[in-house]
Amino acid sequence: MIKTIKSDFAIIKERDPAARGVLETVLCYPGFQALVLHRLSHKLWKLNLPLVPRLISQLTRSITGIEIHPGARIGKGVFIDHGMGVVIGETTEIGNRCLLYQGVTLGGTGKDHGKRHPTLAENVVVGAGAKVLGAIRVGANTRIGAGSVVVRDVEADSTVVGIPGRVVHQSGTRINPLAHSALPDAEANVIRNLMERIDLLENQVSALQNSIQEKNQNFKPQNIWSGESQSLKDKEIIEFIGDSKSNHSESDA
C-alpha cells in the first residue's frame, strides 16, 4: 500500500507543474487525499468489515468532494485532478496511470448485481464532466473528451467525443495526457463537409440552368433556394466551426 501511495504522489509531481512539494500535495490535493483514504477503505472492504469502509467513503466525500465506493479497484499512479464531483462506482476498475478530471462519473446502469461499472485500462484520460456508464471497457491510451457520454466499449489508442461518445480518431501513437486542445471537433468537420457539398451542388445546378438557357431562349431559370444562403466565408460560420485554413496551418505546425 505504501508503494502504491508513493506512485500516486509521483504522478502528481510528474503531471502537475503547480505541485511544489510533499506537504503541499498531502494537504492541498483532494484527489491525492481521496485516493489514500480509498486505499484504506478498500483494504477494509476486502476484509468484509461491515459499515466501516462505507463510513470512510462518506467521510472522504465530505472532505474532498470525491465519492469513491470502497469496492472500486484502482491501480497505481492514478491522478484525480481537482476532482470535485467525481463519482466512482462499486465495480469500477481503473488501470495504472489513468487521469480523471473534475465532474467525471464512472457509473453503473440498471439494478443488476455483479459487474455493472466501467473498466479503464492503463493511461486512460477522462476529461472534465465526462460520463462513462455501464459494464464497458475503455482500452489503453484512450482520451475521452470533456462532457462526453460513453456507453459502449472503446478500443485502445482512441479519442472519444460527443453524446453519445463516438470514436473520432484511433492510432497506435502514444498520447500526451495533458493535450486537451488536440481533441478534434467532429461536429465542425461534419458541418464544414456538408456546407462544401451544398456549395458544390448549388454551383452545378446554376451551371446546368445556364447551359439550358443558352440552348433554349424560352427557358426561365427558377430560384430553388429559399431564405438567406450561408457560406463557409460568412463570419458567423467561421466563428462557429473555425477557419479551416488556420486549422490546417496549426495542425501542420
Q: Among 14-18, 148-152, 162-166, 215-219, which range has the highest average pLDDT?
A: 148-152
- Report d(CA 174, CA 181) in Å as an integer: 16
DSSP state at residue 11? H
CA dihedral 31, 64, 136, 119 (to 10 degrees): 40
- Report d(CA 142, CA 144) in Å as an integer: 7
C-alpha angle with apex 63: 108 to 83, nearest 5 degrees? 50
What size, in residues, is the chain? 253
Average pLDDT over residues 1-14: 77
What pTM, to 2 d.p., does this model score?
A: 0.68
Instruction: List pLDDT tens digits, range 185-224.
Output: 566 667 777 777 877 887 888 788 778 877 777 766 666 5
Which residue has better confidence, 171 or 25?
25
Instruction: List pLDDT tens digits, range 87-132.
Output: 999 999 999 999 999 999 999 887 778 899 999 999 999 999 999 9
Beta strand pairing status for 166-170 and 158-161? antiparallel
For 69, the grid coordinates are 465506493
CATH superfamily placement of domain 2-179: Hexapeptide repeat proteins (2.160.10.10)
Helix (H) or strand (E) holding 94, with range, is strand 93-94
At 250 the pLDDT is 44
Question: Which residue type occupies 211?
Answer: S
At 184 the pLDDT is 59
At 241 the pLDDT is 55
- Report d(CA 221, CA 94) in Å as an integer: 64
Domain boundaries defined on the chain: 2-179, 186-252
* Secondary structure of residue 197 in the 3-state scheme: helix
